[in-house]
Amino acid sequence: MLIDRFAPDYHYSEVYSAVVHAAPQRTFRAIKEVRPSEILLLGALFWIRSLPSRLTHRGRRGFLGTQPLLEQMLKGGFVQLAEEAGREIVLGTIGQFWKLRGGLSPHIASAEQFLLFDQADFAKATLSFYLGEDGGEGRVEVTTETRIYIPDPVTRRKFAIYWRLIYPGSAFLRKMWLRAVRRRAEQR
């Protein structure tokens, strides 16, 4: 899998899968086309996460527009690390997510920069969507995986507290994202 090139080692991860009753090409297109409004409670959870930034008037808007979510993520601090057309897409970002206002690194603009980044007090996060083998009868398994790598033990402990707080919401969003992909792919 392509994600292994960018996150072979990691300290935290989430993996979720769903079977989609649609052709792989249609399913992959759905991954790229899902909009924030199609993901249950995405707006509410992003609103909660961005509250500290909005209260200090220093925050960015969340991902709530009408453009596809992946497209908004690429405009909002994520970098496309790799793509195998019709099979897998990997995005990455670097930040200090545990801080109240977050803090994405403004220095990452390419996959190479992502790989070379080595500041110990930052976390590297990768997000991938992967299509398994065609299951026949017009169905395919879609997997989304998130991996977090934090080289510094002190920083990792800070992130651990944050992870315990956000993990239930993060897990819920990933599952709802897969549900939105399935709905979009199957209804065409």
Res 65: pLDDT: 66
Cα separation of 147 and 87, whole Å? Answer: 19
The radius of gyration of the chain from alpha carbons, rounded to an integer in Å, stands at 16
| CATH class of domain segment(s) 3-186 | alpha beta
Of 91, 147, 89, give the one whose Cα is nearest residue 123. Answer: 147
pLDDT at 71: 93
Span 152-164, average pLDDT: 94
DSSP strand pairing (123-134 vs 140-149): antiparallel
Q: pTM of this prediction?
A: 0.87
At 97-121, the pLDDT tens digits run 888 766 656 578 999 999 999 899 9
Of 7-11, 58-62, 81-85, 133-137, give the lowest mean pLDDT range: 58-62
Q: Answer whether 63's CB lies under 8 Å from 36's CB.
A: yes
The torsion defined by the Cα of 176, 181, 183 and 187, in degrees rounded to 10, comes to: 170
Domain range list for the chain: 3-186
Check residue 55 and give left, alpha or beta (phi > 0: left; psi -120 to 50: alpha): alpha
pLDDT value for 81: 98
Proportion of the chain above pLDDT 70, given as a percent: 83
Angle between helices 24-33 and 153-186 (to 10 degrees): 120
